């Protein structure tokens, strides 16, 4: 596939100067005298008329003549010392010296054209007879049936003699064994093109049997060719057609594929064997890719025949637009270049930007892709890495320190606490032995003795997992040594010896009724 792309690029680069030339620079092509969509012979431009003007009236007259049942006589007469071809004594075409080859006389050329016209009119009238149409209809149906069987046979042979992976559906279904590779897509594309080509060829053969369908296809192709070949885009003193633009786009797509192939080849065959870290490999391959794209585009436009100096005004206007309307994009592009050359962050670095923590997976010109600990890809504009504070846990060295604060109740033996915290760090493979863990007595808090455990790790992206595992072990070991973590305590001191509390009137009356004893029976 890649080899085919490179060969297509070479062919297109050879053809590009000729395809990109303006209509004024191409040699004027002859026009053809046609009947029922069949080209009979070419007619050149004369001294006074173009080739299209000479054949326009002749094509109309012979097309009308073949559609009628009246006899049509094609003859050759001499007019102004030049042979003319007549249809029922009506001049349809004058044969000039430019129409005949140097080795052939003009009169002989006129006679050959007369014979060709006579045979074409006879054939056109024969193909319009009901007997001919009735004979061609079964043949056409047979061609359709044969095409159906042939494309079905092609599909069965494809399934039988090619690996089963190449006959999977075009789209990978859920639960499929593996996604389709580029080679699989190529084989599927070839199969689709072959089957489609069979049907197109069959339809063209069938339409060629009947004059009306053949004429319709001919006019359709002629209109399509004229629309694609008509210049519509003035640029650099030349005018380019739709076909020119399509070929240019095809050239650019082939260039992009070729550059992507070279980038992959450089990364796999060259950079990986140099021992350079992955971040540097990505930066080198990225710069090479865009550099080759830029140079290849310039060469492609030059081979295409486009004068790049004519784009100076467009480039200046684009520069103003980038400076004014696209400030954010331009700022991110410049930031991306700074990051690639200065390299404050690189691929596989564990970074923290604001409340975002994750691993850098790709550094592009405009943005950087960061995969968080939740396996979510976040696209971060490059300007944020230069205008805000960034914590790069992997910069220089991946060794980082974790701070584990621990508070214990008053009265706890500080030496026992120290030994317990160091014991919790033992036999934990994620904690480095060098530098060794350390315990600091920070001071006396309001309700606890405050200690600080410091440990070093070399996997910053797993810091939360390591911290959780260490906290589990600390809690278990503290319980083994009967060391407790106190609750917050508060002492309340009242200065006044007498404290007056005010209650609502309803509550006061209820309390008085309950506290006042009721009088004995019979007493007031």
Closest among 178, 36, 227 to 119, alpha carbons compared: 36
**328-392 and 400-480, same CATH topology:** no
Please provide the distance, in angstroms rounded to a whole number, between the alpha carbons at the two ends of the chain. Answer: 118
- The domains of the chain are located at 27-127, 130-170+180-229, 328-392, 400-480
Tell me: the pLDDT tens digits for 41-65?
888 888 888 888 888 888 888 888 8
Q: Which CATH number fits domain 400-480: 3.40.50.300, 3.30.420.40, 1.10.3720.10, 3.30.70.100?
A: 3.30.70.100
Which residues are CB-contacts of 316 (< 8 A; sequence separation ≥ 6)? Answer: none
- Whole-angstrom Cα distance, residue 208 to residue 212? 9
- Whole-angstrom Cα distance, residue 221 to residue 79? 36
The pair of three-digit structure tokens given for residue 472, joined into one six-digit string = 């589990």
Cβ-count burial of 31 within 10 angstroms (0-12 exposed, 13-18 middle, 19+ buried)? Answer: buried
Q: Please, what is the average pLDDT of the chain?
A: 78
Q: Which of 130-144, 147-161, 286-300, 484-498 has the highest mean predicted lDDT (pLDDT)?
A: 130-144
Note the pLDDT of residue 128: 87
- Whole-angstrom Cα distance, residue 197 to residue 154? 12
> What CA–CA distances, in Å, run from 394 to 83, 274, 283?
91, 22, 17
Say if residue 26's pLDDT is above 90.
no
What is the band of 335 on the pLDDT scale with cuts at 50, 70, 90? Answer: confident
Note the pLDDT of residue 189: 74
pTM for the model:
0.47
Q: Does domain 328-392 have CATH number 2.30.30.60?
A: yes
Which residues are CB-contacts of 237 (< 8 A; sequence separation ≥ 6)? Answer: 307, 310
- Whole-angstrom Cα distance, residue 263 to residue 257? 10
Please state the separation of Cα 419 from the chain's center in Å: 59
Tell me: the pLDDT tens digits for 473-514?
998 998 888 888 777 666 666 666 666 667 777 777 777 777
Q: What is the chain's length?
A: 524
Helix (H, G, I), strand (E, B) or coil at 412: coil
What number is the average pLDDT over the span 327-349?
A: 79
Say if residue 2's pLDDT is above 60.
no
Torsion of CA 246, 247, 249, 255, to 10 degrees: 160
């Amino acid at each position: 596939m890649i080899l085919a792309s490179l060969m297509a690029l070479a062919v297109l680069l050879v053809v590009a100067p000729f395809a990109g030339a303006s209509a004024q620079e191409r040699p004027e092509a002859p026009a053809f005298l046609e009947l029922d969509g069949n080209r009979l012979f070419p007619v050149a431009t004369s001294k006074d008329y173009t080739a299209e003007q000479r054949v326009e009236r002749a094509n109309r007259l012979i097309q009308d003549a073949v559609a009628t049942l009246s006899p049509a006589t094609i003859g050759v007469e001499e007019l102004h010392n030049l042979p003319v071809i007549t249809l029922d004594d009506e001049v349809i075409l004058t044969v000039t010296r430019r129409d005949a080859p140097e080795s052939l006389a003009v009169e002989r050329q006129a006679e050959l054209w007369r014979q060709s016209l006579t045979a074409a009119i006879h054939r056109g009238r024969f193909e319009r007879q009901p007997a001919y149409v009735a004979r061609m209809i079964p043949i056409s149906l047979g061609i359709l049936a044969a095409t159906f069987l042939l494309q079905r046979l092609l599909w069965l042979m494809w399934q039988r003699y090619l690996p089963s992976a190449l006959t999977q559906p075009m789209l990978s279904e859920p639960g499929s064994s593996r996604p389709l590779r580029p080679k699989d897509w190529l084989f599927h594309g070839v199969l689709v093109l072959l089957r489609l080509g069979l049907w197109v060829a069959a339809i063209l053969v069938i339409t060629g049997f009947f004059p009306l369908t053949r004429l319709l296809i001919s006019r359709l192709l002629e209109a399509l060719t004229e629309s694609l070949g008509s210049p519509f885009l003035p640029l650099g003193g030349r005018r380019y057609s739709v076909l020119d633009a399509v070929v240019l786009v095809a050239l650019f797509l082939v260039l992009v594929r070729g550059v992507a192939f070279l980038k992959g080849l450089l990364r796999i065959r060259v950079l990986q064997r140099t021992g350079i870290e992955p971040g540097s490999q990505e930066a080198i391959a990225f710069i090479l890719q865009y550099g080759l794209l830029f140079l290849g585009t310039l060469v492609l436009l030059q081979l295409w025949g486009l004068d790049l100096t004519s784009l100076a005004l467009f480039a200046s206007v684009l520069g103003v637009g980038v400076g004014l309307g696209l400030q954010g994009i331009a700022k991110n592009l410049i930031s991306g270049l700074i990051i690639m050359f200065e390299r404050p962050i690189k691929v596989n670095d564990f970074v923290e930007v604001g409340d975002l923590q994750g691993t850098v997976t790709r550094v592009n010109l405009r943005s950087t892709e960061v995969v968080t600990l939740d396996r979510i890809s976040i696209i971060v504009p490059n300007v944020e890495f230069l205008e805000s504070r960034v914590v790069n846990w992997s910069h220089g060295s991946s060794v980082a320190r974790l701070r584990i604060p621990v508070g214990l109740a008053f009265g706890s033996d500080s030496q026992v606490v120290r030994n317990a915290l160091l014991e919790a760090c033992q036999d934990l493979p994620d904690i480095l032995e060098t530098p060794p863990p350390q315990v600091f007595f920070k001071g006396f808090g309001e309700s606890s003795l405050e200690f600080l455990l410091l440990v070093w790790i070399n996997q910053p992206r797993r810091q939360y997992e390591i911290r959780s595992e260490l906290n589990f072990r600390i809690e278990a070991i503290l319980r083994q040594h009967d060391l407790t973590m106190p609750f917050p305590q508060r002492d309340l001191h009242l200065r006044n010896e007498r404290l007056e509390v005010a209650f609502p009137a309803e509550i006061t009356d209820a309390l008085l009724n309950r506290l006042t004893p009721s009088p004995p029976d019979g007493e007031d």
